[in-house]
Structure 1
Amino acid sequence: MTVEDVARERWAQLMGAGGAQDRAPGEIVPADLPAPAGLVATGGRGHVTLAWEPVPGAIGYAVHRATASTGPYEPVDHGGGDVLAVPHGPYADTTGEPFREYWYAVAPLGTVTSMGPLSVPASAAAHTGGDAAVRVEVTADGDAGPLHRPWRAMVGSEHLSHLLCADTSGGRPIGAELREALRRVRDELGVQQVRAHAILCDDLGVYRLVDGRPRLDFSGVDRVYDAVLELGMRPVVELSFMPRDLASDPSRTVFAYQAIISPPRDWDQWSWLVRELTAHLVERYGLDEVRDNWWFEVWNEANLSVFWSGTPAEFWRLYDESARAVKAVDPGLHVGGPASAAVGWIEDQLARESPVDFVSTHTYGSPPLDLRPLAGDRPLLWTEWGVTATHGSEVNDTVFAATFLLRGMRSAAGRVDALAPWVASDHFEELGRPPRLTHGGFGLLTVGNLAKPKYWALALAQRLGDTELPVALSGDGAGGLVEAWAARSGDGVVTVLLWNATLDHTKADGDPELDRAVTIDVTGLPAAAYRMTHWRVDARHSNIAALWRTISEGRDWPDERQWAALREADRVETAEPSRVLKVKDRTAAVAFDLPMPSISCVELVPI
């Protein structure tokens, strides 16, 4: 067995483990791609950074490691789950032992089930102690093109009938606060669409049998979608799940709200339901509105048995019937999928003879892969994405999750049409309603609509101007740990966003060896002086979960006094007082420490 065979076998085992996809190991096939060239491994304090030349046609790369040049090479597992691959380099490995030499090799992926050969290996070792610094040079009078903001396209949410819920969680009104959460992400983050499950579930009464005859009622859908539009957003019409009276097996359900995952018992009735729903939406909201601004996505993660009890063939029939039904209303309406878990079934989706106007998929724990070689010019919608797919994981409430969001958004900019954080609010009941304030919920906002660190990450990114600026990084961990994103606004404000991050979940609480001293040099500044404001997200700043730990007094939910203290702290905090920054030779410099994980946003306003 060759080194490549061993690597593919181990990759297959990882892809089949943990329920990331319902696929038995051993199905990874060789991809018709060359090995990446130019792999360089550089040891630094607490990490090894890998860089390599991109391979045309690759959707991503699987980083492998061995203790000897001859192998065996194992995929590096940074603990994120799903697909342990990255869309590009550089990649910082922080999972190894310090001072131990490792050999690295990188393999290109044609799909998540096809892998090319390993690169020529390169070796390096991490070390400890000593100074570690990164320098960031920003060209303020440069122009790297319009800034792309992938977070603005879409956000995930709970099943949208939750907007109508009059119950409470932690004493807070569910429906009202979910509406406020969506309003807040719309107004403060610029998010335009919301994607959620279960618009066809029985709590909205869309389809039922009366005296043995089918009856449709879209009044519940109208209430939900009217609420979304009133918030200034638009819905993604996820065609799920199956109405009870149309299900072939109503006993097959998922989630606490018992969404039915069965194929239909009558395919003609399913097609009729989809066609009539689509026609109703067009009639109610206008053809131009729906055709120009809405997406029709077929089902959710049917490559997982937990979401689809039928066979793959039955799902593809569901897709075909649904796509034809949508297009029967108007050929210009946008329908696509497969809305799959862990980038599965993309090649199967694109092989359909039925219309595929966009490609949608999900992943957790890594930046989204680059599906452009597969999708061509179709829009790419990552309709679920996040730091982990695990309900109730503490990492969801951390600064680590915030830096993860920025890494993914920066990576996706310019190549992904939508990258939807899952989800807007902790008012979420897939596995039951929240048991306490900070319980590891997926939300950007807590119950009570307090901003978590990952909300502030996107809020700071939203401060970036419309013209992206050239950025060059150098030093220990540049590009692999420390990344930067800079932009200029029309009034000359220069904003530099930096973060220090690893994908390694074992370092979620930080590691002093990965902390860095950062210097920003901003060149090409036209004014003589600037007012500098420095916002920070870290263990002590803009971190509502950390504050709640200090004042909770063992409570699951705050009392009124504690709510007042939390609401007072619901803001992004500065790392230092605002000050005037003098410019010399059109250059200004700012220096500060940047722990891992943390985010800094430096804004320079001309005086």
Structure 2
Amino acid sequence: MQRCAVWAGVLAICGVMGAQEPVSIQVDLSKPVGAYKPVYSWFGYDEANYTTAPDGQKLLRELHDLSPVPVSIRAHHLLTSGDGVAELKFSSTNVYTEDANGKPVYDFKILDGIFDAYKAACVRPMVELGFMPEALAADVPGRTEPYQVHYPKSTISGRSNNPPRDYKKWGELIRVVTAHLVERYGKEEVLRWYFEVWNEPDIDYWHAPAEDYWKLYDYAVAGVRTALPGAKVGGPASTSPRSEKARLFLKNFLDHVDTGSSAADGKRVPMDFITFHAKGSPKIAAGKVTMGIASELRDADEGFKLIAGFPRFKSLPIILSEADPEGCAACSSKVEPANNYRNGTLYPAYTADALKGLFELQDRHGVNLLGMLSWSFEFEDKEYFEGFRDLATNGVDKPVLNVFRMFGLMSGSRVAVTSSGRVDLDAKLAAGVREKADVDALATKGDRSAAVLVWNYDDIDGKAAAAKTTVSIGGMPAGVTRVLLEHYRLDDTHSNSYTVWKGMGSPQKPTEEQYKELQASGRLEMLTSPEWVEVKGGVMEVKMSLPRDGVSLLRVSW
């Protein structure tokens, strides 16, 4: 019988694939490479009405708690007509209707409930201005769909994605909504928010030519700025720029802002930040879930390169207002089997790897990445671990939420890291992580502390031997001889409610005791108790056995 070796308190995986070569990771705290910006502290979802649902409010508070800086929340359907009841990929606020004479009628009850929930959780809205109220939606030749199309049909084909029949009324709607937000939440608070015009207008989310989106944008930002001079406005929230069509849309939009004049007032077009989306492409290949990190990174690469070509825009903040492993959060693994990556450790390991890749691409192109918005929240009244792209299921935190908690425990400057197990950025852009696992790290240094995030990621799901990894943290300040080490771990047996749920027999109606256990297992765990570690010659070492798709966070303080 084959025996397994225990190394650093973790049982190495045996009998699966060949042994991975030992990995050496070198961190140099004396060599900063850039700021560690909290690009992780952005989240979003289609169903705005889930914001006020019980588990939605609970999760908002948890999102606030994971980050030392404000968390921003983006949601679709803030202006959509309807009864305020969420469906998959649809929500509504009914903020705008018209009377029999065509006079606007405003009702802020549902919208206020959403924004009040943000305020109660101490998170900030990223205000996505969409979609089109029914009373304002124009008829589009050749389109006969009703206002709302229900999932699983194409929910973006309805009249809620039509252009306005009157752009001046659209601009006035945005002015009135912005003025209401200022009155309710205060000028200084709303000045901190980001106002984004529409979502993915380069595809069927917008049922009109691109030039009409420029007009929609112009009237929207004019409305925002009329109500709140100095408000942050931007767009275009276009899709993956690795596509030539999407890349051209983004370029033409930037051209419009750069050299055009506003259709609303003839003045220069305002823009304070730029948004586009970056998506992966998981699939089932050879019977295994196979992720597509190359696609997401290529989106960022193409978008950053394009923006860097505009001198006026190169320093503007960029928000990837959806940055995800793929497109449809509401498509469960029952619909798309590849989406089962969302329940276990593959999703958080992918997210850790993507985070570093996005920082590296920002540095390469000399642009200003502000946000990597994860399009993930929660789905109310669905089955446990149904495989939606969510952070929690029925109030139970999923493993992926814990990688964001790890991100939140890092601060300061990014510092130099080398790894013998790293897959080079250009290799990832070309082919993803397929030939060998990517065992790498992202490290930061604060005033009297440092943090090293380490992962063992492969696009292809499946068991593999753990990586024996030595992390050497050098460049310690002179005079530091001992540091306090806290080692957090996310793997199959740590910070993982999914494993615990499966061990219970996958109950859809857990008992009260089972539910308490699931909630506890969803929190971020330490691998070992905190310990004091000696520093010799300015260097300390941590040895670990890191399972495939495992993530460790080493925090040291002195």
| 1: CA distance, partners of 2:132 / 2:215 | 14
CA displacement at 1:317 relative to structure 2: 2.7
Matched, 1:498 2:454: yes
CA displacement at 1:227 relative to structure 2: 2.3
CA displacement at 1:160 relative to structure 2: 2.9
1:244 to 107, 127, 134: 134
CA displacement at 1:329 relative to structure 2: 3.0
| 2: CA distance, partners of 1:522 / 1:359 | 36
Decide whether the 8 Å contact of 2:136 with 2:170 is kept in 1.
Answer: yes
Match of 1:24 in 2: none
Match of 1:230 in 2: 120
Q: Cα–Cα, structure 1 residues 253 and 511, in superposed 2: closer, same or farther, change >3 Å?
A: farther
For 1:217-270, what per-residue CA distance to the aligned partner results, in whole angstroms no more than 9, with x for missing partners?
Answer: 234322322221222122122111111222224714355597822222333322
- The code of the aligned residue for 1:484 comes to A
Match of 1:349 in 2: 253
Match of 1:361 in 2: 276
Matched, 1:509 2:465: no
| 2: CA distance, partners of 1:475 / 1:200 | 48
TM-score (norm 1): 0.69
| 1: CA distance, partners of 2:461 / 2:403 | 16
| 2: CA distance, partners of 1:289 / 1:494 | 32
| 2: CA distance, partners of 1:272 / 1:476 | 53
CA displacement at 1:138 relative to structure 2: 1.7
Match of 1:317 in 2: 215
Q: Cα–Cα, structure 1 residues 498 and 207, in superposed 2: closer, same or farther, change >3 Å?
A: same
- The code of the aligned residue for 1:346 comes to L
Match of 2:95 in 1: 206
**Structure holding more helix per residue:** 2
Decide whether the 8 Å contact of 1:501 with 1:598 is kept in 2.
Answer: yes
CA RMSD in angstroms, aligned pairs only = 2.6
Matched, 1:196 2:75: yes
SS across alignment from 1:522? strand
| 2: CA distance, partners of 1:141 / 1:476 | 21
For 1:157-197, what per-residue CA distance to the aligned partner results, in whole angstroms no more than 9, with x for missing partners?
Answer: 34333333xxxxxxxxxx12211211111122244211001
Matched, 1:542 2:542: no
| 2: CA distance, partners of 1:144 / 1:310 | 44
Matched, 1:599 2:551: yes
SS across alignment from 2:347? helix
Match of 1:161 in 2: 49
| 2: CA distance, partners of 1:141 / 1:535 | 24
| 1: CA distance, partners of 2:20 / 2:461 | 22
Match of 1:335 in 2: 233
Q: Cα–Cα, structure 1 residues 316 and 565, in superposed 2: closer, same or farther, change >3 Å?
A: same
- The code of the aligned residue for 1:501 comes to Y
SS across alignment from 1:253? coil
1:405 to 351, 354, 362: 351
Decide whether the 8 Å contact of 1:471 with 1:484 is kept in 2.
Answer: yes
CA displacement at 1:422 relative to structure 2: 0.9
CA displacement at 1:420 relative to structure 2: 0.8
| 2: CA distance, partners of 1:446 / 1:484 | 29
| 2: CA distance, partners of 1:476 / 1:361 | 28
**Structure 1 residues not aligned, in runs of 5+:** 1-127, 165-174, 428-432
**Structure 2 residues not aligned, in runs of 5+:** 1-16, 85-92, 140-144, 263-268, 281-295, 333-338, 363-367, 429-437
- The code of the aligned residue for 1:357 comes to D
Match of 1:488 in 2: 445
| 1: CA distance, partners of 2:150 / 2:74 | 17
1:396 to 342, 355, 365: 342
- The code of the aligned residue for 1:539 comes to D
CA displacement at 1:144 relative to structure 2: 4.1
- The code of the aligned residue for 1:242 comes to M
Matched, 1:561 2:509: no
Q: Cα–Cα, structure 1 residues 289 and 532, in superposed 2: closer, same or farther, change >3 Å?
A: closer
Q: Cα–Cα, structure 1 residues 376 and 493, in superposed 2: closer, same or farther, change >3 Å?
A: closer
SS across alignment from 2:420? strand
CA displacement at 1:330 relative to structure 2: 4.2
TM-score (norm 2): 0.75
1:281 to 181, 185, 192: 181
Match of 1:518 in 2: 469
Decide whether the 8 Å contact of 1:185 with 1:424 is kept in 2.
Answer: no
- The code of the aligned residue for 2:485 comes to M
How many residues align? The count is 452
CA displacement at 1:142 relative to structure 2: 4.5
Q: Cα–Cα, structure 1 residues 441 and 602, in superposed 2: closer, same or farther, change >3 Å?
A: same
Q: Percent identity?
A: 26
- The code of the aligned residue for 2:390 comes to G
| 2: CA distance, partners of 1:590 / 1:200 | 52
CA displacement at 1:314 relative to structure 2: 3.2
Q: Which moved more, 1:322-331 or 1:590-599?
A: 322-331
CA displacement at 1:284 relative to structure 2: 3.1
CA displacement at 1:458 relative to structure 2: 1.5
